[in-house]
Amino acid sequence: MNVLQILPELNVGGVERGTVDLARYLAKEGHKSIVISWGGRLEEELDSFNIRHYKLPVHKKSPLTMFRMISKVAWIMKNEEVDIVHARSRVPAIIALFAYRRYVANRPLDEKSPVSFITTCHGYYNTHVFSKIMAYGKLVIVASNVIGRHMTQSFKVPLEHIRLIPRGVDTNKFFYKSPDLNKTSDFVVGMVSRITPWKGHETFLKAMSKLVRIFTKSKIIIGGSVLKGKEDYKRKLDLLVKLLGLEKHAKFIGLVEDVPSFMHKLDLLVSASNTSQETFGRVIIEAFSCGVPVLATKIGGAAEIITHMKDGILVPVDDPNAMVEQAKNILEDRKLSMQLSKNARLTVEEKYSLKKMMDSTVKVYKEASCIFRILLIKMDGIGDIILSLPLIEAIREKFEDATIHVVTSLKGREVLSKSELVDETIICQHRSNDKVRLKYLWDFSKKLRREIFDLAIDLQNDKQSHFISYFSGAANRYGYRSSQWDFFLNHAVKRPDEMLEPVDYQGYLLKSLGIPKIKQDIEINIPAKDQDYIDNLLMQEWLKPTEVLVALHPFANLKWDTKNWIFSRYAELVDKLAQNNIRTVITGDNTTTDLIYKLCRLTSAKPINFAGKTTILQLAALFKHCKLVIVPDSAPMYLASAVKTPCIALFGPTDPARHVPKGADVKVIRKHLHCAPCYKTKCQHKSCMEQITLEEVFNAVINKIYN
């Protein structure tokens, strides 16, 4: 693997140390390791191991600088042929994400080795817009359960995207040193952390002021640098040292560069953090590794690391009395000190070794390289969604190991949720009273972004679907070029010049994805429970096995009044079929139940009325029982084709060349008027449908059934 790590700087710190350690480990294991940062003290270590380091100002929060860095980082990714982009801090992560998308958009699609963007959350981030970028990793690494919960609750990262990898310590560098069991008074108690209020220095100093009265020769060493803007807090601590009479005992030593040497001087390490922002507590496992007994407040990462009274001691937050009491117990009871020391070292070796952390990180890299998530967008009517089934099958064959999510309508979900080709269906109800709800689309897209898609394929191809495609965050977005906001696509394909059948039309788009051929057969899975439901309904109608059953679905979408045949002729057709021993079952959705009830009353034959009684899949199950299906241009034509039942389709304002599936057993009845196809939903004369006679349809039915 070629792994790129990006972080602000390479000065001494937990993030920086972990980056360098990982870079060295990757190089040692034969992987290509690249680091981008502004440099710092640890830069020399990278050079000594011949690890490629690019020095760029990725630490600056200036929007102009960040924008300039995107193209440079994208070039590095391309030049180094990066497989994994690992962002370790917020500003570099913003730069890296946009650079990653640019880089990936210009690479061949390959689900077997996709480029992956991964983040590591080192801190307890606030919900600032800059922090949200850390939620956009294909996998999100956290050092503790505290951070994991925070990322899922505050940033809505799906739990299945979180990977827990505690920080590790080099047990060779932080070697074990047994506690001095002969000490009785001149103990050294230490605390090492940044000088900031939430580290609990005030509580620590108050506790130590009581401890030095018990062990009068004790020394208190406080290591850690003063953060920018915290100078007043440091002065407050200096004053507190004087007020507590600790001037002869306590000493601030500033930044601790040689942490192992610092630890080996201590008889006790105290971690006094007072907030859950203490997400891990690296210093605790460093003390563990060195055999130094640890006393910590029961909060944040410390409470996860320490097993109370086994490898460390936990005390309540902001309680100096409890702290001094437990510190006294550890220092007085040398057997307890030895027990804590030995168990702490075992804890590090079992859970927090540097090698374990590195192995786990590489495992996450390999896992991410096997994850390829595809977003399909198809929110049309049920007929178009049925037509998309061969396309989805072709996409599944091309990307066999990918996870496929489909944005669809409520009715579309009925079909797609039962398909083995699709992993998840996502309902999008972006229209209300035929008006597009932009705020809904924005919120909907935000939810999609949490899934981290590699590829979006827009089979809908309208403004709303292009909007969803872009704001889903998918690095590659395919769809047809048009005036419908196609600037949201980064792979806009020119529409075919020639007239193509419906499946071939969408299949033309898939050629750009390396899918040259699409199967024309439409297949639909009908669950056994839906088939049983139809069997029971027909049994209640006393349908004999020898009876010829024809399904009549008389109405297209009522908004398309021009597609519908003359109302009275449907009734005449039912009666004429009955005279020829053909029984008719009339179907329709809930919007047409009243019309179909009126239609049944016009007949003498009294057909079976299943209007409003079937779902889409149950309707398909019914069509399997039928010898023939009679429909206007509507979705049931595709259902009949999917279950291989012959169909007679009445066409008026629409063109059968664009809508009849290729190879389907469909007899089209149509009048070639000068105004057709017009694709108008309203028409004053409606001649195209009126000129279709009863005799034409009846004869077509007889020929289909008996010839």
**C-alpha dihedral (680, 686, 691, 697), degrees to nearest 10:** 70
Q: Which two tokens stand for residue 616?
A: 């889409």
Query: Could you tell me which residue, 516 or 371, shows the higher pLDDT?
Result: 371
* Range(s) within the chain of domains with CATH label 3.40.50.2000: 2-164, 188-351, 373-513, 528-706
H or E element: which one contains 622?
helix 616-625
What's the sign of the alpha-carbon dihedral 235, 240, 246, 249? Answer: negative
Residue 17 is predicted with a pLDDT of 87
Residue 436 is predicted with a pLDDT of 64
State which of 11-25, 453-467, 538-552 shows the largest mean pLDDT: 453-467
Q: Which two tokens stand for residue 434?
A: 């035929």
CATH topology of domain 373-513: Rossmann fold (3.40.50)
Answer whether 283's CB lies under 8 Å from 193's CB: yes
Instruction: Give the pLDDT confidence of 150-163 residue by residue, as tens digits.
Output: 999 999 999 999 99
**Residue 1: partners with Cβ closer than 8 Å, 6 or more residues away:** 26, 31, 32, 83, 84, 362, 365, 366, 369
Residue 576 is predicted with a pLDDT of 94
- Could you tell me the end-to-end alpha-carbon distance of the chain, in angstroms, rounded to an integer? 64
DSSP for 97-134 reads: HHHHHHHHHTS---TTS--EEEEEE-S---S-TTGGGG
Q: Which two tokens stand for residue 443?
A: 């919120």
Q: Which of 192, 185, 188, 186 is nearest to 252 (CA)?
A: 192
Segment 27-49 mean pLDDT: 92
Q: Which two tokens stand for residue 378?
A: 């198809």
pLDDT band at 129; cut points 50, 70, 90: confident
CATH homologous superfamily of 528-706: Glycogen Phosphorylase B; (3.40.50.2000)
| Three-class DSSP labels, 406-419 | EEECHHHHHHHCCC
Residue 435 is predicted with a pLDDT of 64
Q: Can you tell me whether residue 493 is helix, strand or coil?
A: strand
* pTM score of the predicted model: 0.84
Q: Which of 271, 326, 325 is nearest to 298 (CA)?
A: 271
Residue 434 is predicted with a pLDDT of 55
Query: What's the rounded Cα separation, in Å, for the pair 585 and 575?
Result: 12
H or E element: which one contains 398?
helix 389-398
Residue 87 is predicted with a pLDDT of 97
Residue 569 is predicted with a pLDDT of 93
Instruction: Give the pLDDT confidence of 310-341 residue by residue, as tens digits.
Output: 999 999 999 999 999 999 999 999 999 999 99
Q: Can you tell me whether residue 372 is helix, strand or coil?
A: coil
Q: Which of 13, 53, 58 is nearest to 33 (CA)?
A: 53
Query: What's the rounded Cα separation, in Å, for the pair 378 and 74?
Result: 32
Residue 109 is predicted with a pLDDT of 82
CATH homologous superfamily of 188-351: Glycogen Phosphorylase B; (3.40.50.2000)
Instruction: Give the pLDDT confidence of 170-226 residue by residue, as tens digits.
Output: 999 999 999 988 887 899 999 999 899 989 999 999 999 999 999 999 999 999 988
| Three-class DSSP labels, 259-316 | HHHHHHCCCEEEECCCCCCCCCCHHHHHHHHHCCCEEEECCHHHHHHCCECCCEEEEC
CATH class of 2-164: alpha beta
| φ, ψ of residue 76 in degrees (nearest 5) | -60, -45
